[in-house]
Amino acid sequence: MADVIKIATRDAYGQALVELGNERQDIVVMDADLAAATKTGAFKKAHPDRFINTGIAEGNMMSIAAGLAAAGKLVFASSFAMFAAGRAFEQIRNSIGYPHLNVKIGATHAGVSVGEDGATHQCCEDIGIMRTIPGMVILNPADGPEARAAVRAAAEWDGPVYLRFGRLAVPVFNEENVEFVIGKGKELVPGTDVTVIATGLLVNEALIAARQLAEEGVSVRVINMATIKPIDKDIILKAAAETGAIVTAEEHNIIGGLGSAVAEVLCESGRPVPMLRVGVEDTFGRSGPALELLELYGLTAPHIAEKVKAVIAMK
Amino acid sequence: MDAITKKELSVIATKIRLAVIEGTFHAKSGHPGGSLSIADDLAYLYWKGMNIDPADPKWPGRDRLVLSKGHAAPALYGALALRGYFSTDLIPTLRKTDSILQGHPDMKHIPGVDMSSGSLGQGISCAVGMALAAKLDGADYRVYTILGDGEISEGQVWEASMFAAAKGLDNLVVIVDNNNLQIDGTVEEVNSPYPIPEKFAAFGFHVIEIDGNDLDQIEAACNEAKTVKGKPTAIVQKTVKGKGVSFMENQCSWHGAAPKQAEYDIAMAELTARLQELEG
């Protein structure tokens, strides 16, 4: 495993925007003074005439994006997840969501893996916030190639999309030309005893946990749920029926995110199965190196494995 | 004024005011005061100032209007219906469950509405986005947006203004409807925005001060704005909230209350008399 390639999904975002800019003239990329960090700076360099910086004014950026989209542009508006979903929630809801305009929100620096900047910049609420906006699509790719594919899928989608990216370079496990279908989860590992449904950087941790558990004789199915909304009900219910227990894993508050979405599907199916959630346990983050924080907040393979054993005991 | 006469525009403005009373009366709610104050702007813009085609509401080359003070929707709907975007029969359906006429403008379902609005402070940014799109495309359409004087307490108005001036959006006209009243009282009492013209000038706008209930002054200001290059224009207009209905004029209480039957009768009688006077 020494030669594992690591790419931050935000880097893949920036590169995908450059490619789209080469292919489409109607694309406009916006940022609120974070282009170097969100990686929209790559687009700025390649297509300066179609890059718009609003300065530090995220709400204004979202409403301007809505106006651009209303006039026919395909807009990617970028900031940190905290200031996109958090500060600009109401502009996204009213200016973009309600008129269902073609704005893609590129939200980087999601979760505690932001690291040293600490709690004010570690958004673990964004999926929950965005999920309640009618018609909003939420994509949370797990690695570089998937992020690139997600950006391209979002560009083809008619309507608002929230794309969630991370700051931390994470291992690449997808093929370079991986396909991305909005609304479809992917079974990465077959299994019969339990299913781990993961999203974002927790997918790779789920894969590690599944390998470890396999050595202990536990058959773990792993599903990559890169689309949080619309959630893939079929793959969840199939997993529930075939494996009888589910663990969700996400770099987000356990309230409102993937775990909540999966629980909603399970509970309303009439055939619920035991389920446990791995996520940030309804607390704020703190400063520290990203990898230490992921460990501290229980967002690594060993924690997933623990929950897997616990949920199997509930069967 | 040529082509359409000032008298004809005055008739239209009065008909828009009638639609405001008609709509809010039947809805039993809504915002007549701030709708009545901008009827003259809408008459001028939709019948003379703006390059539009009611038969093709989504025509990409059209001028656009974003009603940032979206609660004045009854006036916008009156103008759009009278201009032929949809039937005037819809006016009494305002705010009804089965009507397209939402309490605040809805671009997805109402022909002629260029942007959904109503959450104050956002419409100006949306208008800025449209003006920016025109610049990116090398298109020559213009974008108008109407703000309330209370609305400019929203910080986003100034974020949008700073941006519009920084990008030199000379195809953008921001109309500030200074009727001096907001829900909780006069604008001075609540959170004084004064002096308004100086604030927009400081943000880099070309500023024109007018009486916003005077059609000649509205036209002159919009024409002046077209001659300004390299910066957006702010038209700061003094208006009378409730204009045209005696008991609503300058009364804060008519910001967000609908006329009841007796009030409706008086208001309709006054405006109808005004219409007959104009039409001779």
Q: Band of the pLDDT at B2, cuts 50, 70, 90?
A: low
CATH dotted code for A6-171: 3.40.50.970
Q: Do B128 and A59 touch (CB under 8 A)?
A: no
Burial class (CB in 10 A: 0-12, 13-18, 19+), A130: buried
Q: Measured between alpha carbons, how far is A170 from A201 in angstroms, rounded to an integer?
A: 7
Q: Which CATH number fits domain A186-314: 3.40.50.300, 3.40.50.920, 1.10.287.3610, 3.40.50.1370?
A: 3.40.50.920
3-class DSSP assignment, residue B257 = coil
Hey, what domains does chain B have and what are their CATH numbers? 6-279 (3.40.50.970)
Q: Radius of gyration over alpha carbons of chain B, in Å?
A: 17
Tens digit of pLDDT for each residue in A24-81? 999 999 999 999 999 999 999 999 999 999 999 999 999 999 999 999 999 999 999 9
Kindly report the nearest CA distance between residue B156 and chain A, in angstroms: 6
Distances (CA, A) of B172 to A6, A63, B126, B133: 46, 15, 11, 11
Kindly report the nearest CA distance between residue A9 and chain B, in angstroms: 28
Kindly report the nearest CA distance between residue B250 and chain A, in angstroms: 30
* A chain contacts of residue B137, beta-carbon cutoff 8 Å: 71-72
Q: Measured between alpha carbons, how far is A208 from A192 in angstroms, rounded to an integer?
A: 17
Residue at A42: amino acid letter: A
- For an interface test with A, which of B110, B116, B140, B143 has the most A Cβ atoms less than 10 Å from its Cβ? B116
* Mean pLDDT calculated for residue range A208-234: 98
Q: Measured between alpha carbons, how far is A17 from A227 in angstroms, rounded to an integer?
A: 19
Angle between helices B215-227 and B6-27 (to 10 degrees): 110
Q: Do A50 and B136 touch (CB under 8 A)?
A: yes
* Mean pLDDT calculated for residue range A241-253: 98
Nearest-by-CA chain A residue for B122:
A63
Topology agreement, domain A6-171 and domain A186-314: yes
B31 within 8 A of B255, measured Cβ to Cβ? yes
Does residue A120 register a pLDDT over 90?
Answer: yes
Q: Which residue from A57, A59, A99 is facing B107, i.e. has the nearest CB? A: A99
Residues shown for chain B: 280
The closest alpha carbon to A17, from A138, A163, A129, A121, belongs to A163
Residue spans per domain, chain A: 6-171, 186-314
Q: Which residue from A49, A62, A72 is facing B133, i.e. has the nearest CB? A: A72
The pLDDT of residue A3 is 77
A15 within 8 A of A40, measured Cβ to Cβ? no
Q: Radius of gyration over alpha carbons of chain A, in Å?
A: 19
End-to-end CA distance of chain A: 34
* A chain contacts of residue B126, beta-carbon cutoff 8 Å: 63-64, 66-67, 70, 95
Positions of A marked active-site: 58
Rounded to 5°, angle at Cα A299 from A263 and A124: 65
Residues contacting residue A188 through CB under 8 Å, at least 6 positions apart: A173, A203, A207, A222, A223, A224
The pLDDT of residue A195 is 98
The closest alpha carbon to A149, from A25, A47, A9, belongs to A9
Q: Measured between alpha carbons, how far is B39 from B240 in angstroms, rounded to an integer?
A: 11
ipTM more than 0.85?
yes
Q: Do B125 and A91 touch (CB under 8 A)?
A: yes
